[in-house]
């Protein structure tokens, strides 16, 4: 019987550490078969600025040679562009500008930043602050040299966090002229039901309708905590609340959107298997299609 080969349109990769040097990061990405890659350019939990890395230019060239695209940088968690505290907001803007510069040195295409918290000022005011901070970051970053695109990530909606809905993400994206990054674990605990394929198909449809071409990146993570719990926590694909078949629906609904996994590290074998699994899930036909799964391979 004729074997049919499904077309996979989503590029798949993962977040990787840089602590052993950027050359090692690239070797690891290559070993895992990563087509995309995400790194930090500084300690995400502290305010220390990114340091100039002597291996930055070699990393940029190496990633290009390996065909890794996009190269993504995740900005510090401490940044809150929506803070009601002017000093914290200003510090966040300046810090993000420095992270953008460091990301540019790595040849990054995209920098992902959290949407932040309004801190009690209310959602409307928080969104307005986030939008004006993002515009300021772009002004200060200028257009000299290579400046990565900005993407705002959805939150789990804990406390006063902004952008746990696709509508709020769309508003920020439109008003600030930036892209968005959709984290599937965040979306799930914020109330978007990906647990079974039918729900996942609807969520993917909603994503496409509300955000469409604004989606720069998908953070592909399974969720540790329950639907609507607003509690963050990532699990490996297939080990959390989301059925494996759900991911196929997500990919089918978002063709071409690049993917970065931020799942917990395992052994090298486990990490390799995760990348392989996601590539397989992205290559399968969605459940609406009657073709038998085993006729497909990546
Ligand atoms: Zn994030
Ligand atoms: Zn994320």
Q: What is the per-residue pLDDT across 148-191, written as a single tens digit (0 to 9) for each?
A: 999 999 999 999 999 999 999 999 999 999 999 999 999 999 99
Closest CA to 261 of 229, 219, 293, 292: 219
Q: How far is the CA of 73 from the centre of ligand 1 (A)?
A: 10
The topology (CATH level 3) of 12-295 is TIM Barrel (3.20.20)
Q: Which ligand gives the minimal distance to the CA of 111? A: 1
Q: How far is the CA of 222 from the centre of ligand 1 (A)?
A: 14
Q: Which ligand gives the minimal distance to the CA of 262? A: 2
Q: How far is the CA of 214 from the centre of ligand 1 (A)?
A: 17
Q: How far is the CA of 183 from the centre of ligand 2 (A)?
A: 5
pLDDT tens, residue by residue, 21-43: 999 999 999 999 999 999 999 99
Please compute the mean of the pLDDT values over residues 83-103 and round it to a whole number. 97
Closest CA to 48 of 84, 91, 87: 91
Report whether pLDDT(108) > 90: yes
Q: How far is the CA of 180 from the centre of ligand 2 (A)?
A: 11
pTM listed for this prediction: 0.94
Q: How far is the CA of 74 from the centre of ligand 1 (A)?
A: 7
- Structure confidence at residue 291 as a pLDDT band (50, 70, 90): very low
Count CB atoms within 10 A of the CB of residue 225: 17
Strand-pair partners of 38: 15, 72
Please compute the mean of the pLDDT values over residues 70-97 and round it to a whole number. 98
List, in order, residues 6 or more apart from 10 with CB less than 8 Å away: 218, 251, 254, 255, 256, 257, 258, 259, 282
Q: What pLDDT is recorded for position 7? A: 81
Report whether pLDDT(288) > 80: no
Helical segments of the chain, H only: 22-32, 56-65, 86-105, 123-141, 166-176, 184-189, 197-211, 244-253, 268-283
Which residue has 């100039």 as its token pair? 52
- Domains of the chain, by residue range, sit at 12-295
Q: What pLDDT is recorded for position 6? A: 62
Q: How far is the CA of 114 from the centre of ligand 1 (A)?
A: 6
């Amino acid at each position: 019987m004729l074997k049919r080969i499904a077309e996979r349109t989503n590029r798949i990769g993962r977040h990787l550490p840089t602590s052993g040097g950027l050359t090692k990061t690239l070797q690891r990405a290559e070993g895992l078969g990563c087509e995309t890659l995400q790194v930090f350019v500084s300690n995400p939990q502290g305010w220390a600025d990114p340091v100039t890395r002597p291996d930055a230019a070699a990393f940029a060239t190496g990633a290009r040679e390996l065909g890794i695209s996009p190269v993504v940088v995740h900005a510090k968690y401490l940044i809150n562009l929506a803070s009601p505290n002017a000093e914290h907001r200003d510090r966040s803007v300046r810090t993000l500008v420095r992270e953008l510069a460091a990301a540019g040195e790595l040849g990054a295409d995209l920098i992902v930043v959290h949407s932040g918290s309004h801190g009690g000022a209310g959602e409307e005011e928080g969104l307005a602050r986030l939008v004006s901070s993002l515009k300021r970051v772009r002004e200060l970053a200028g257009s000299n040299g290579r400046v990565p695109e900005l993407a705002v990530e959805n939150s789990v909606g804990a406390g006063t966090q902004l952008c746990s809905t696709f509508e709020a993400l769309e508003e920020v994206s439109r008003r600030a002229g930036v892209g968005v990054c959709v984290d599937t674990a965040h979306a799930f605990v914020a109330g978007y039901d990906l647990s079974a394929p039918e729900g996942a198909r609807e969520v993917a449809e909603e994503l496409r309708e509300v955000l469409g071409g604004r989606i720069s990146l998908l953070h592909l993570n399974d969720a540790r905590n329950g639907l609507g719990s607003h509690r963050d926590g990532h699990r490996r694909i297939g080990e959390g609340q989301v059925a494996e078949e759900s991911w196929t629906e997500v990919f089918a609904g978002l063709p071409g959107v690049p993917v970065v996994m931020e799942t917990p590290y395992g052994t090298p074998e486990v990490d390799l298997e995760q990348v392989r699994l996601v590539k397989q899930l992205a290559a399968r036909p969605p459940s609406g299609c009657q073709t038998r799964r085993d006729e497909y391979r990546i």
